[in-house]
Structure 1
Amino acid sequence: MAKVLVVDDAAFMRMQLRDMLTKLGHEVVGEAENGVDAIEKYEQLIPELVTMDITMPEMDGIQAVTEIKRKYPNAQIIMCSAMGQQGMVIDAIKAGAKDFIVKPFSIDRIKEALDKFLN
């Protein structure tokens, strides 16, 4: 079981991810709606895993990953992207993300991505 921070600017996406993570036996310890919020919540909660949306207002997911990884090199971050954002996914991996999940989410893909970190 992992303590997870869910970051997405869309409330329904956060809710969908929270439901799937909970069904998989993980604990969602916090949610953030943009990159600035994500960094603050990360520092407060020190989660074991972060699911990070790429496209968000104020600060995008790639900037947030860069900032979190600079302060916390061992942070485990999975990017969440819509179809057609492959170039951004490559940037996210370069910034330090470990994996990515494409929206719409499937519970099997989320489980597969989390299993990589937890085993």
Structure 2
Amino acid sequence: MARILIADDSVVVREYIKQTLERAGHQVIAEATTGYEAYHQYLTHRPDLITMDINMPELNGIETVKLIVKENHAAKIIIVSTYGLKPLVFEAIKAGASDYITKPVDEDKLLGAMANVL
């Protein structure tokens, strides 16, 4: 069972990811709606894994990944985004993301990415 932080500004996406992860036996320990909130939730809770949207208020997902990875190079982060453009995927991985999946979130892809990352 992994302890997970979900960072997405969409309540619908957060709830879907949360339900998917909890059905698979994982524990969602925190949620965030902005990049700064995600960073602070990471520092507070030190989750095993983070799912991170790219388009978030205040601080985008890639910049948030950079902050988290600067704090902990071993942080496990899966980007979850509507954008599947190769340059953006490359930028996210270069910033320190562990994997990248696109929305709409497919349960099997999310759980598969988690299995690979963890």
- Between the aligned partners of 1:7 and 1:85, the Cα distance in structure 2 is 20
- Between the aligned partners of 1:110 and 1:84, the Cα distance in structure 2 is 15
What do you get for the CA RMSD once the two structures are aligned? 1.0
- Between the aligned partners of 1:105 and 1:43, the Cα distance in structure 2 is 26
The answer to whether the Cα contact below 8 Å between 2:80 and 2:103 also exists between their aligned partners in 1 is: yes
The answer to whether structure 1 residue 49 and structure 2 residue 49 are counterparts is yes
The answer to whether the Cα contact below 8 Å between 1:79 and 1:101 also exists between their aligned partners in 2 is: yes
The answer to whether the Cα contact below 8 Å between 2:84 and 2:102 also exists between their aligned partners in 1 is: no
Q: Secondary structure of 1:51's match?
A: strand
- Please name the residue that 2:14 is paired with: 14
What's the TM-score, normalizing by structure 1? 0.95
Q: How much identity, in percent, do the aligned residues show?
A: 40
What's the TM-score, normalizing by structure 2? 0.95
> After the TM superposition, which residues 1-119 of structure 1 pair with which residues of structure 2 at under 5 Å, given as runs?
1-118=1-118
CA shift digits 1:3-23 (9 cap, x unpaired) = 000000111110010000111
| Pairs aligned (count) | 118
- Between the aligned partners of 1:83 and 1:100, the Cα distance in structure 2 is 10
Question: Is there any run of 5+ residues in structure 2 with no aligned partner, and where?
Answer: none
The answer to whether the Cα contact below 8 Å between 1:53 and 1:80 also exists between their aligned partners in 2 is: yes
- Between the aligned partners of 2:112 and 2:48, the Cα distance in structure 1 is 16
